[in-house]
Amino acid sequence: MDQYRVHPKTKVKMSQFSTTYDGEIDKKSGKEQLKEMGKTLADLQELLFAEHKQKVLIVLQGIDTSGKDSTIEHVFGDVNPQGTKVANFKVPTTIELDHDYLWRVHKHTPGKGEIVIFNRSHYEDVLVVRVHQLMPKAVWEKRYDHINHFERMLADEGTTILKFFLNVSKKEQAERFLARLDRPNKRWKFNPGDLDERKYWDDYAAAYEDMLSKTSTDWAPWYVIPSDRKWYRNLVVASLIVDKLNSLGMQFPKEVPDIDQYRGDLTKMIEDNPE
């Protein structure tokens, strides 16, 4: 899995990352592995929630159709929603624009025992803002350092951060747009404006390169995930999250002293209340 990690101070070119997978794992085996991985992730999330000491932030970025929603559905489908939250970042509201650009993000970061998944994130402010020239370069260029310091603060306060860039090809994106027209339950997701955004493909690629190069750190690494094959994308993301959670050394809280002494009382309660 380390092949997908962007190591700090690496100058990234999008051409160095494949969007597809042609390895030894086949689709059927991959889906079976993902199913088992989902059960493991559910157990680890329960442990994280019970321990109530650590926090986990998952960041998902990618162009339209790269599969942010689908990744959340398939990777986190088995976890208990009590300790897992999803934060979506759309166009900023008027109130959000009245504050600094990190204000709306900070309030959604995880508390102890929580996993929070950012569907898009604070990185929109060095992506969309840059590509569409919503701010001068002198403004958005400073934000790489802001973001690194922000994430360092979160990490110092006990947050484990994993950031995934879902890398999809231009051809695959077009095929997924077309597939939306062919599926009645997906037609609502089609927006002609998404086709206009394809005109900025190269501009976004340059913005992603700088984002990955300047904000992948030891405390908040980026992983570039090949996403043309949906099942493989999901498997890689799940594997990386499970590996990281396993490394946290989490433990369940100590049990009540002499807990087995209550077994007799509980057994009697059951016997005294037959169905």
Instruction: Supply the CATH number for residue 238's domain.
Output: 3.40.50.300
186-213 pLDDT, tens digit each: 898 888 888 899 999 999 999 999 999 9
Instruction: Of 222, 241, 210, give the one whose Cα is nearest residue 41.
Output: 241
- What is d(CA 28, CA 34) in angstroms, rounded to the nearest whole number? 10
Q: What are phi and psi of 15, to 5 degrees?
A: -65, -15
Which pLDDT score, from 0 to 100, does residue 223 have? 98
Domain tally, the chain: 1
Sheet holding 84-88, edge to edge: 5-6, 222-226, 159-167, 55-61, 115-119, 84-88
64-119 pLDDT, tens digit each: 999 999 999 999 999 999 899 999 999 999 999 999 999 999 999 999 999 999 99
Which pLDDT score, from 0 to 100, does residue 57 have? 98
Which residues, other chains included, contact 52 with Cβ-Cβ below 8 Å and sequence gap of 6+?
Answer: 112, 113, 253
Token pair of 96 as six digits: 């959000």
Query: Looking at the chain, which runs of residues are DSSP E strands?
Result: 5-6, 55-61, 84-88, 115-119, 159-167, 222-226
Write the DSSP symbol of residue 137. Answer: H
Q: Are 173 and 198 in contact (CB under 8 A)?
A: yes
Helices and strands (DSSP H and E) totals, the chain: 12, 6
Range of the domain at 34: 2-272
Query: Cα angle vertex 184, ends 197, 66, to 5°?
Result: 35
